[in-house]
Amino acid sequence: MERATYKRRIISLSSLAREKYEAVYEAALRGQISCLACGKPVKLYLGIQQQPHFYHDEPTTCSFSLTNKQQYWNMPIAYQPLAPFRQNKREEAREETGYLRTLVEVGVPLDEAQLQAVKTTEGPLLVLAGAGSGKTRVLTARTAYMITEKRIPPSAIMLVTFTTKAAQEMKDRLLTYPGMHPTAISQLVTGTFHSIFYRMVAHFDRERWQANRLLKWEWQREQMIKEAGREIGLDKRQFAYDQALQQISYWKNTRTTVDQIKTTGQWEAQTAYLYKRYEEMKKAQGLFDFDDMLVGCYEMLLEHPALLSRYQERFRYFLIDEFQDINQVQYDIINLLCAHTRNLCVVGDDDQSIYSFRGSDPSFILEFDRHYPEAKIITLSENYRSSHSIVSLANAVISRNRSRRAKQMNAQFTVDELPLFFFPYDEEEEATMVVEDIKERLQRGANPADFAVLYRTNAASRAIFERLVQSQLPFVLASDGESFYERRFVRYLLAYLRLSLDPNDEEAMNDLLVSLFLKQTLLQELKAISILEDCSLVKALTKLTNVQPFQRKKLKTIVPLFKQLAKLKPTEAIELIETEMGFSEFMKKRGNEGNVMERGADDVRDVKVAAKKFKTVHSFLRHVDKMIEAAKHIEQHRHAIQLSTIHRAKGLEYNYVYILGAVEGSIPHDYALEANRNGDPLPLEEERRLLYVAITRAQHGVFLSIPSQRRLKSASPSRFLKEFIAKIAEGAQR
């Protein structure tokens, strides 16, 4: 039905302002929306598969039905494959003999390209393994073939993966292959770059590389650079130390020394100083971090040619997984080790190179045959993961990149469900539509673990996280970071609201001091004043003497406004904090420090989106605290919906994938758009690869959300998808 009643007024969806749909949806959940015909409560359908409509949640004889619905918003549109489905069957290598024939007989078939990759054991080999093309099967089958058929000693083979989990998976799979005994597998040198290279340096200089000297945890490294930061007056709550650590790691992995850094701004100059002092402090205390394992191994091999020769005699074959993610120091070490035999097999996909912020460089895979002119190149083009329509969309998206090796994936199966573009109003409605669609599919027999919701940055998970908490569906949030409401600039903003309700909130006052450019040591003085003057901490701000005259004047202006905040709607209160209490000025100076990806100003706009739903500051803060608490107690279910950034989802697969915020500024991200405007197209190409990775996580269904509003501003469809949407819409009008 298209109409219903709310508080004795008729609601017509065809004339209702789009931004009000979410409020009506929530009112319906509370039982406040009624059927025009029978007067019983109805719900509002706000999903992906159909137009919005009111419906009875329980069986009824009500005469109203879903017929005669009007076209009052953009319906989801489906992507049709560009070419008809043609299955390329996996070859079963019937003409092969020996070990390869044995593999087929035990259920490890290889297609023609996979077969060639397995059999090419001598010289440099580049295996371009597209999404879902069975690269793990190739690496393990190749290793087993080399040991059994070619009689190559396992100890002469180095198999490098990017994660410990991947290394273990390969060992486990090898154990299932005929002729592969645990003894042989234990002789293989298998592991991540860090684990293998650490074993090498530790064997050479056991004292220097003792395990108890490792800075294993992030807080240990952060503690050291904060100590260095105090030397130049950096505030531990204001400066982006987490981003500084990431930048230092990037410099080290690209073999950029302190002397080689050309800083472009104050934050980078400060980070360069921290880098210098961090290295000095580690050296003085005999400590090392994970990046040092790589740099140390490279320097060890360069400085000790005899040792390098011994390793070259030991290892004659090298297999490198996820080669598109390799960085400069890793590449240099591998080149040193394999220089004698050049038996280097690298497996990767330049279309999935998405870690430039870690120092990964796709040029290593793009230019492999320039560095190794005699290299053989084999492309694995059969996708065994995703349906034909998903593969077709992924091919169409990535084909627009210029810096890539030309290739096209082919699907092995097709399904009726097509990729869908859907068009929510904003982030809140987007989350509602996704959760409703998941509920529908769960009712039809799907499992929660079948679903993944992917987004560009962690901050974009706020709305979907909140909706899933509300729905009580099992979900897992794949993140090492804090909850949205504990993010630095969100916390600073919320401090004003918290102090409006409780002017003696010490933690909030600590955050407020940061946003007022005041030293946090003043908190003790404020506490003393509040006791002596019998006043609140907020009132004590006007009695500070150890501040500049202009600061004293500002404090006397803003303190009376705290009482006013508590009486306003949350969005109005935030507006007052920004304009009258100086928070906008603070954001201009601090809002983009060290992080071009997740800026403070964006976080503030996200808070405004969340606050729109609440009528009082108290109810909004109660919601905030509930979400902070929920984030602390998410259980790690095996059978749960996965929430993840696209970066974290790489290498994984799900039956159904929802991609949030496929609009300009999100995918592609603002920083890539700005770089492109300044003449650097490479970040924009990486953003397209990121979308390609997201699409190819899906096996049977992928749903791309294109909201018309993002962070309270109009949004445009991603340039990566706009042409497909336009073509489909044009075809529908004919």
Interatomic CA distance for residues 101 and 194, integer angstroms:
36
Q: Report the range out of 80-94, 131-145, 466-480 with the highest average pLDDT.
A: 131-145
Q: What is the pLDDT of residue 72?
A: 41
pLDDT exceeds cutoff 90 at 359: no
Placement of tokens 């001598």 in the chain = 122
What is the identity of the amino acid at 241? Y
**Poorest-confidence range of 138-142, 465-469, 581-585, 635-639?**
635-639
Give CATH superfamily name and number for 411-474+635-733.
P-loop containing nucleotide triphosphate hydrolases (3.40.50.300)
Q: What angle do CA 574, 576, 582 make, to 5 degrees?
A: 100
Quick one: pLDDT band at residue 106, thresholds 50, 70, 90? confident
Quick one: pLDDT band at residue 691, thresholds 50, 70, 90? very high
In this chain, the answer to whether the domains covering 215-287 and 485-616 adopt an identical fold is no
Average pLDDT of span 161-175: 91
The topology (CATH level 3) of 98-206+294-383 is Rossmann fold (3.40.50)
Quick one: pLDDT band at residue 81, thresholds 50, 70, 90? confident
Average pLDDT of span 217-223: 90
pLDDT exceeds cutoff 70 at 230: yes
**Poorest-confidence range of 120-129, 130-139, 264-273?**
264-273
Domain boundaries, the chain: 3-73, 98-206+294-383, 215-287, 411-474+635-733, 485-616
Interatomic CA distance for residues 475 and 450, integer angstroms:
11
Residue 187 near residue 155, CB atoms below 8 Å: yes
Interatomic CA distance for residues 230 and 519, integer angstroms:
13
The topology (CATH level 3) of 485-616 is PCRA; domain 4 (1.10.486)
The b/e string for 540-560 (b: 16+ C-beta within 10 A; e otherwise) is bbbbeeebeeeebebbeebbe
Return the closest-CA partner of residue 539 out of 509, 514, 511, 515: 509
Count the neighbouring beta carbons within 10 Å of the beta carbon of residue 503: 21
pLDDT exceeds cutoff 70 at 683: yes
The b/e string for 600-634 (b: 16+ C-beta within 10 A; e otherwise) is bebbbbbbbbbbbbbeebeebbebbeebeebbeeb
Residue 485 near residue 628, CB atoms below 8 Å: yes
Q: For 178-199, what is each residue's pLDDT tens digit? A: 989 999 999 999 999 999 999 9
Residue 328 near residue 359, CB atoms below 8 Å: yes
For the entire predicted model, the pTM comes to: 0.90
Count the neighbouring beta carbons within 10 Å of the beta carbon of residue 714: 9
Q: What angle do CA 447, 449, 455 make, to 5 degrees?
A: 130
Interatomic CA distance for residues 82 and 494, integer angstroms:
49
Cα dihedral sign for 495, 498, 500, 506? negative
Residue 279 near residue 248, CB atoms below 8 Å: no
Q: What is the pLDDT of residue 731?
A: 58
Placement of tokens 């006052």 in the chain = 509
347's tokens? 């497996």
Average pLDDT of span 640-650: 94
**Poorest-confidence range of 71-80, 312-321, 410-419, 508-517?**
71-80
CATH code 1.10.10 for 215-287: yes
Interatomic CA distance for residues 702 and 694, integer angstroms:
9
Cα dihedral sign for 605, 611, 612, 613? positive
